[in-house]
């Protein structure tokens, strides 16, 4: 099990989200990375759907968690997939492989969107911040 987390939306450094401040306090920034997948606009936040389609990458950041069980429990609650959240969950935390800027692959946790992508606009650049603002 990994102690690293890939974030691609409102939890990124340039985000406005208060949960980013918790992440910045309880984790160490490792670097920028990309994950095979597609990203969709879900309103005020994005959702990542893993994909093996050639050239489809979601861009984000990797963090090394200082206290993974505690930090992940708080993030699970924030993402609506904690043990007390009613099913079905919009997101689930899953392990995936990312490629860091250096080209090194790393195993990370990521919050994956579980809902329908029908009528959800895709962020074609794969970078939420390039198209969100």
Q: Where are the domains of the chain?
A: 4-127
* Domain 4-127 grouped into CATH 3.10.490.10: yes
Give the model's pLDDT for residue 14.
74
Give the model's pLDDT for residue 10.
87
Percent of the chain with pLDDT over 90: 80
As averages over each run of 10 residues, the pLDDT of the chain (133 residues) reads 93 81 91 97 94 93 96 95 94 97 97 96 92 62
Give the model's pLDDT for residue 116.
94
Give the model's pLDDT for residue 132.
59
Give the model's pLDDT for residue 92.
97
Q: What's the pTM?
A: 0.94
Buried b (16+ CB within 10 A) or exposed e, 64-77: ebeebeebbebbbe
Give the model's pLDDT for residue 133.
53
What residues contact 117, with CB distance under 8 A and at least 6 apart?
Answer: 38, 40, 47, 49
């Amino acid at each position: 099990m990994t102690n690293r987390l890939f974030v691609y939306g409102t939890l990124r450094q340039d985000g406005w989200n208060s949960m980013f401040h918790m992440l910045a306090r309880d984790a160490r920034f490792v670097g920028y990375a990309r994950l095979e997948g597609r990203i969709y606009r879900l309103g005020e936040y994005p959702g990542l759907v893993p994909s093996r389609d050639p050239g489809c990458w979601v861009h984000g950041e990797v963090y090394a968690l200082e206290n993974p069980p505690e930090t992940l429990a708080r993030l699970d609650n924030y993402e609506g997939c904690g043990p007390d959240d009613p099913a079905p969950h919009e997101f689930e935390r899953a392990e995936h492989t990312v490629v860091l800027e250096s080209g090194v692959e790393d195993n990370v946790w990521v919050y994956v969107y579980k809902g329908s992508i029908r009528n959800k606009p895709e962020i074609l650049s794969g970078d939420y911040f390039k198209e969100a603002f």
